[in-house]
Each structure stands twice: as structure tokens, then as C-alpha cells.
Amino acid sequence: MKTKIVTDKAPAAVGPYSQAIDIGNLVFLAGQIYLTPEGVLLEGTKEEQIRQVMKNLEAVLKAAGMTFANVVKTTIFITDMSQYPLVNEVYGSYLVEPFPARETVGVETLPKGAWLEISMIAARE
């Protein structure tokens, strides 16, 4: 049985999708951009924007009873690959060994004009 995960500590879905879906021992988190929980695109430094993405993901994980330690797979979408080193540094500061499997995909555009989006899959042990 799949269960919808919802928290007001992360931005609400802006389309026909859920913040996350819990099914069995897996939780699939929707991609997060640097929207505040109120749904406003964060203006600030690139580092602050990356941290907002990670805070959003952390809030959804918490609502599912998980932490970043449960993450097994991450997908990063980025419109400016010159920012990859900074994304890698900030993203990496939230995770511990063994790090999740991951791919980083350069894309032309993202929702609401964002330059970064991250989605995750987490598992219960």
C-alpha cells in the first residue's frame, strides 16, 4: 500500500504530485528546488539556495520518519554545471558514508526558473 507523505515544513506540491510516496520499505521524494516552505523561491547566495533544497528534503524525510542516513539514491538536476563543485560540497555536508548512489544531470531549464533540483529515494533498514 502506498501512502502520501505531507509536511508543512517543506513547500507544498505545485502540481499533480506528492512531496513523497511511502511504499513498503521505500520512500520516493519528489524533486525539490529552493522554494521556502511558504512556496517562495529563495533569493540569496547559491550556497543558501542549495541549503534550502536540502532543508526541504530533510523535512520530507523527517515526515516519513527518516533521515539522510536512509537515502540510497539521489538525482541532481542542474542548469549550470559550473556550480557542480559547490553543489557537491554543500550536498556532501548533509550525508555520511556510505553515500547514496547518485547521478547529476545537466538540464536546460527547471520549474519556476530554478537552477537546481534534487530528488531522493530512501529505504528503511
- The pLDDT value recorded for residue 99 is 97
Cα torsion angle, 13, 35, 61, 28, sign = positive
In contact, 10 and 40? CB cutoff 8 Å = no
37, 14 contact by CB (below 8 A): no
Domains of the chain: 2-123 (3.30.1330.40)
**pLDDT at site 14:** 82
Question: Rounded CA gap, 41 and 121, in Å?
Answer: 24
Q: pLDDT tens, 79-124?
A: 999 999 999 999 999 999 999 999 999 999 999 999 999 999 999 9
Mean pLDDT score, 54-68: 98
Cell 540569496, residue located: 44
pLDDT in tens, 14-35: 889 999 999 999 999 999 999 9
Q: How far is CA 105 from the centre of its chain?
A: 14
